[in-house]
């Protein structure tokens, strides 16, 4: 694999990981917002 | 994926470049004043909703920053301070920046509306549109008054925080808005005085470039006067107590002294623009301190 190929895979993987973490955090946030709105 | 080598310019942008697009350092003051607006409000939100409000203010500010960088990539490339940003440095394509900025704008406004109320969401939407359409697209390249009017965009966060908590907008958040609005010209013109050549190279009509140094110095001092009145008003009108009053009196007196020093001097080639740098950095500390004092004061009184 050439250097730009390796960099392409590294960036794609790190973006996928960050996106997954942010989506997970977003789902959790919506869950907690729903609970807070029901109690408020 | 084929085995063919990928040219460096076609690499996908790194996630750190998307983060840089949101101008995280600028965002800190916006987030802090928004948080203080929230804490100064007479109604306490549940922690999750308070956190969501601050998050949405941060996302909205990030979205506005991304759209600003999308539009200004050409002039960013001409200034030393901004040439390393993802777009002028060629680490990201413009379409990605546009999609990111628009997506983040919608996300922040809708999430804030659903979590708190639609007044707060509307003010957030207005602040993003104001920064992008009024400041970035319309004013910045046309008039030296760009940051005077454009400064309103950065003054909305405490109003958003307050509106998220209470569902209305009263005199105190309006005064917080006015304070940041009037603080912006002395803050940015002090910066423009020591990076003047950078703005001139990019053709941005900042006050020192268009009207000259002398006029800019006088304007810095003149804007500080109504700013001082706005800073003291919450205490004078009984909307804040002694903690804020003392902080406002001392902090504003020092601000006036520093801006008077900048207003009365002429720069020399060998002085390193020290008074201008001092005023610029002090102005950041001043706004942080005043909003912190206001939030603490109001929370202790509640």
- Decide if pLDDT at B153 tops 50: yes
Spell out which chain B residues touch chain A, with contact meaning CB-CB distance below 8 angstroms.
3, 5-8, 11-15, 45-49, 52, 55, 114-115
Contact (Cβ atoms closer than 8 angstroms) between residue B248 and residue B293: yes
Can you tell me the distance from the alpha carbon of B156 to that of B173, in angstroms, rounded to the nearest whole number? Answer: 9
Confidence at residue B4, expressed as pLDDT on a 0 to 100 scale: 46
Q: With cut-offs at 50, 70 and 90, classify the pLDDT of residue B1.
A: very low
Confidence at residue A3, expressed as pLDDT on a 0 to 100 scale: 73
Residues B72-86 have a mean pLDDT of 91
B21 closest CA partner among B84, B74, B77: B84
Q: Which residue of A has its CA nearest to B15?
A: A15
Please spell the DSSP secondary structure of B141-201, one letter per residue: TT-TTHHHHHHHHHH-HHHHHHHHHHSS--HHHHHHHHHHHHHHHHHHHHHHHHSHHHHHH
Confidence at residue B9, expressed as pLDDT on a 0 to 100 scale: 56
Place of tokens 């301190």: B289
Which pLDDT tens digit goes with each residue over B188-232?
Answer: 999 888 876 677 888 888 888 888 889 999 999 999 999 999 999
Confidence at residue B37, expressed as pLDDT on a 0 to 100 scale: 97
Cβ atoms within 10 Å of B4's Cβ, excluding its own = 9
- Most confidently modeled of B121-135, B204-218, B270-284? B121-135
Q: Kindly tell me the sign of the dihedral angle through the C-alpha atoms of B203, B206, B208, B210.
A: positive
For A29, the closest of B6, B45, B52 (CB atoms) is B52
Interface ipTM: 0.87
Residues B94-121 have a mean pLDDT of 97
Residues B271-280 have a mean pLDDT of 88
Confidence at residue B44, expressed as pLDDT on a 0 to 100 scale: 92
Partner B, chain A 1-40, Cβ-Cβ below 8 Å: 1-2, 4-5, 7-8, 11-12, 14-15, 18, 29, 32-33, 35-37, 39-40
For B48, the closest of A1, A14, A33 (CB atoms) is A33
**Measured distance between the N- and C-terminal CA atoms of chain A, rounded to whole angstroms:** 56
Can you tell me the distance from the alpha carbon of B85 to that of B91, in angstroms, rounded to the nearest whole number? Answer: 8
Confidence at residue B147, expressed as pLDDT on a 0 to 100 scale: 86
Can you tell me the distance from the alpha carbon of A32 to that of A27, in angstroms, rounded to the nearest whole number? Answer: 9
Q: What is the pLDDT along chain A (40 residues), one digit of tens a residue?
A: 677 788 888 888 998 999 999 999 999 999 999 999 998 7
Q: With cut-offs at 50, 70 and 90, classify the pLDDT of residue B267.
A: confident
Confidence at residue B175, expressed as pLDDT on a 0 to 100 scale: 98
């Amino acid at each position: 694999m050439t250097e730009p190929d390796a960099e392409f895979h590294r960036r794609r993987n790190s973006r996928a990981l960050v996106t997954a973490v942010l989506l997970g955090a977003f789902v959790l946030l919506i869950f907690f917002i729903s609970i807070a709105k029901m109690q408020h | 994926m084929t085995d063919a080598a990928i040219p460096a310019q076609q690499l996908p942008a790194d996630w750190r470049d998307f983060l840089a697009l949101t101008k995280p350092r600028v965002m800190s003051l916006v987030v802090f004043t928004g948080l203080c607006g929230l804490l100064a409000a007479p109604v306490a939100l549940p922690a999750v909703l308070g956190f969501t409000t601050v998050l949405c203010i941060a996302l909205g500010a990030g979205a506005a920053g991304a759209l600003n960088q999308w539009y200004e990539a050409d002039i960013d490339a001409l200034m030393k301070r901004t040439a390393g940003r993802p777009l002028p440095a060629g680490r990201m394509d413009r379409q990605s920046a546009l999609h990111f900025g628009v997506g983040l704008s919608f996300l922040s406004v809708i999430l804030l509306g659903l979590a708190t109320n639609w007044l707060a969401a509307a003010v957030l939407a207005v602040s993003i549109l104001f920064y992008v359409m009024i400041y970035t697209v319309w004013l910045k390249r046309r008039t030296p008054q760009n940051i005077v009017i454009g400064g309103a965009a950065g003054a909305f966060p405490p109003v958003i925080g307050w509106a998220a908590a209470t569902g209305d907008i009263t005199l105190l958040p309006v005064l917080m808005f006015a304070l940041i609005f009037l603080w912006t010209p002395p803050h940015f013109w002090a910066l423009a005085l020591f990076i003047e050549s950078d703005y001139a190279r990019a053709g941005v009509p900042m006050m020192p470039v268009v009207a000259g140094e002398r006029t800019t110095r006088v304007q810095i001092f003149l804007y500080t006067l109504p700013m001082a009145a706005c800073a003291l008003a919450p205490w004078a009108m009984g909307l804040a107590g002694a903690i804020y009053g003392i902080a406002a009196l001392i902090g504003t007196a020092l601000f006036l002294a520093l801006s008077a020093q900048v207003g009365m001097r002429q720069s020399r080639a060998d002085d390193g623009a020290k008074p201008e740098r001092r005023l610029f950095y002090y102005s950041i500390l001043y706004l942080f301190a005043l909003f912190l004092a206001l939030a603490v004061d109001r929370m202790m009184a509640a």
